[in-house]
Structure 1
Amino acid sequence: VPAEIYAHGTQYWFIGCAYILGLLIPAHVFIPVLYRLHLTSAYQYLELRFSKTVRICGTLTFIFQMVVYMGVCVYTPAFALNAVTGFELWGAVLTTGLVCMLYTTIGGLKAVIWTDVFQTVVMFAGQLAVIVVGVQRTGGVSEVWRKVLEGNRISGV
């Protein structure tokens, strides 16, 4: 994302606006329908509206997508661990998977949520640190703003 913003300007923020719409529309359109029909998943609705075949296709598509996603989620930190420590990649993948499986199994959803909270705090703290250090090393907010305007980096407004 930072490279995209650097290369193409700040119009990338429109994606954030799309995320908001992407959350509001399902929350106000689809969820009430599922609630009124006493359904617990969109897959039940697919079966009710279309057929069991459509429900199975939707379910299999979701499972495939999640398997690929989980593979990326396990491989990425394992790759970083491999780069930093020199562990064998397969060992790092196995260790990462086992650690995640262990804390999820022992702690359940609560452990997963607290891990997500911790990761979010670390990411925001890192972003804030980069911004503060970057602004200080550049010469202050006014200098950053001058360079942004000079480089024509503000767009999409």
Structure 2
Amino acid sequence: MIVLGLDPSLSCTGWGVVRAEGSRIAHIANGQVKTDAKAPMAQRLDQLHRAVRQVIADYRPDRAACEEVFVNKNPQSTLKLAQARGCVLAACGADGLPVQELAARLVKKAVVGTGGADKTQVQAMLKVLLPGASIAGADAGDALAVAIAAAHLKAA
């Protein structure tokens, strides 16, 4: 089974693709979609939508997983995150791809063993779980963690 993990953000959405065979996980690809903060919102969302659709076309995942929205202290940031998340979910929906939504704490628990893990611990565990994988950046790493968590949770 091929799983696409998504870590949505308006400024930089991470994506990661893994192959799951039972409890074994293998890295396929990962990347980040960065948008120009000076561009109009509609243009940024369109860029994000098209990029995720292209990832789906390139890697043909069987399913996707996306991190749930968390509430920031800044309501404007939360709204932008929700718009980006809606955009990536719509991209999956346009291709008929089922999407599993996971809380950040659940992703951390599935990958590291504790829901309170920090980003450093998640990144270190990715090196153990995906040896030799070149990770495009922190957001791509987070997306790979989402994909791994979804694969493990489906296998359980």
Q: Given the two structures, how large is their TM-score scaled by the length of structure 1? A: 0.20
Look at both structures and tell me which one has the larger radius of gyration over its CA atoms. 1
Q: Given the two structures, how large is their TM-score scaled by the length of structure 2? A: 0.20
By percentage of residues, which structure has more helix?
1
